[in-house]
Amino acid sequence: MTARILAALLAAVLAAPAAAEELIRVLVSQEAKEPVELRLEDYVAGVVAGEMPGSFPAEALKAQAVAARSYALTRKIEAQAAGRAWDIGAGVLAQVFAKAPGPAARAAAEATAGEVLALGMEPVEAYFHASCGGRTEAGLAALGRDLAYLKSVECGRCDRAPKVSWSVKVPARELGKAAGLGGAATAARVASRTASGRAEKVELAAGDRKVVMAASDLRQRLGFSRLPSLAFDVHRPRGGDFVFDGRGQGHGAGLCQWGAAGLAREGKTYREILAHYYPGVEIVQMY
């Protein structure tokens, strides 16, 4: 979709009458054949509950609410332009949606009702992730999305995240299969890294046969939950299993959820948190 079309569609949404009943069509499960139509604010509350613990500081929950609403709007506009019967899914590849949000999530949605991140009259694809491990990743490196507001920024506030440091063992045969080597892997190393220090290319070998593949492809083949992020090193102690030692969880672009909680505990407002993780954006009152 061109920027002109996006801008025109967003302008139409912003120019619409006050929409207390702004709606969104959600595929609430993988099995769902028909979308469920929800009030946008009910959907946002469900995403806040699905994506963040209710015990997080209120300002972090508000930041998540604005990010979730912004991302949902980009998908709604995309669906309208494509003539799609649904706007957004409800899983990890979209935004995790909880059907029964608690009071903290509802309060965050209500406190920011109608607020959307925008840049140049275009809605922001407000990607987020659990923990960055110290520094977020640029959108191009993480998602193939070269967006001005998805820059790599210092975080340093997510050290309290569960499993922010992790270690995963992968048997040589499994690693060789994931790399398409046709046999057990005998060696592996990070061949190149992104500017943030995450693995970009990985070289793997089975005897004399070597392959170099995108680290993101290797992560996908091993499983996103198995290899939580691309901020890793890999080694093989004494000919045993290969060991991946890493930090952070998720693709690393945009809002670091545990980092947002850390900033909120330091007294930052949700507007300051969003400005940190999405530099250059503005908050627009959609309705």
Q: Is residue 50 predicted with pLDDT exceeding 90?
A: yes
Residue 3 has pLDDT above 90, yes or no: no
C-alpha pair distances (Å), 142 with each of 54, 132, 207: 27, 11, 31
Angle at which helices 40-51 and 58-82 cross, to 10° = 120
pTM exceeding the 0.85 threshold for the entire prediction: yes
Q: What is the 3-state secondary structure (H, E, C) of 207-235?
A: CCEEEEEEHHHHHHHHCCCCCCCCCEEEE
Whole-number Å distance between alpha carbons of 125 and 143: 11
What whole-number percentage of the chain has pLDDT above 70? 93
Q: Which residue has the higher pLDDT, 163 or 168?
A: 168
Q: What are phi and psi of 27, to 5 degrees?
A: -85, 100
**Cα 287 to Cα 12, 35, 49, 151, distances in angstroms:** 12, 24, 22, 28
- Which pairs with CB-CB distance under 8 Å and at least 24 residues apart come from 202-207? 202/234, 204/175, 204/176, 204/179, 205/181, 206/176, 206/179, 206/181, 206/182, 207/183
* For residues 170-183, average pLDDT: 97
What's the confidence (pLDDT) of residue 151? 97
What's the pLDDT score for residue 14?
A: 47
Supply the pLDDT for residue 10. 52
Q: 75-127 pLDDT, tens per residue?
A: 999 999 999 999 999 988 899 999 999 999 999 999 999 999 999 888 899 99
- Tell me the backbone φ, ψ of residue 31, rounded to 5 degrees: -85, -15
Q: How far apart are CA 20 and CA 251, in angstroms?
A: 34
Contact predicate 158/56, CB 8 Å: no
Overall average pLDDT of the 27-32 stretch? 78
pLDDT at 59 over 90: yes
Residue type for position 125: E
Query: φ and ψ at 163, to 5 degrees?
Result: 55, 35
Distance CA 211, CA 194 (A): 19
56 confidence band (pLDDT: 50, 70, 90) = very high
DSSP 8-state assignment for residue 123: E
Share of the chain above pLDDT 90, in %: 86
Mean pLDDT of 62-86: 96
Mean of all residue pLDDT scores within the chain: 92
Is the pLDDT score of 152 beyond 90? yes
Residue 5 pLDDT exceeds 50: no
Q: Average pLDDT, stretch 155-172?
A: 96
Any idea which residue has 């009152």 for tokens? 285
Q: Give the lowest-confidence range in 3-12, 39-48, 50-59.
A: 3-12
- pLDDT tens digits, 225-273: 999 999 999 999 998 999 999 999 999 999 999 999 999 999 999 999 9
Q: Is the predicted pLDDT of residue 18 greater than 80, yes or no?
A: no
Alpha helices in 38-185 (DSSP H): 40-51, 58-82, 103-111, 139-143, 172-179
Residue 12, C-beta contacts closer than 8 angstroms, at least 6 positions apart: none
Instruction: Report pLDDT for 81.
Output: 94
Q: Distance between CA 176 and CA 255 in Å, rounded?
A: 34
Residue 17: pLDDT band with limits 50, 70, 90:
very low
Q: Greater confidence, 195 or 12?
A: 195
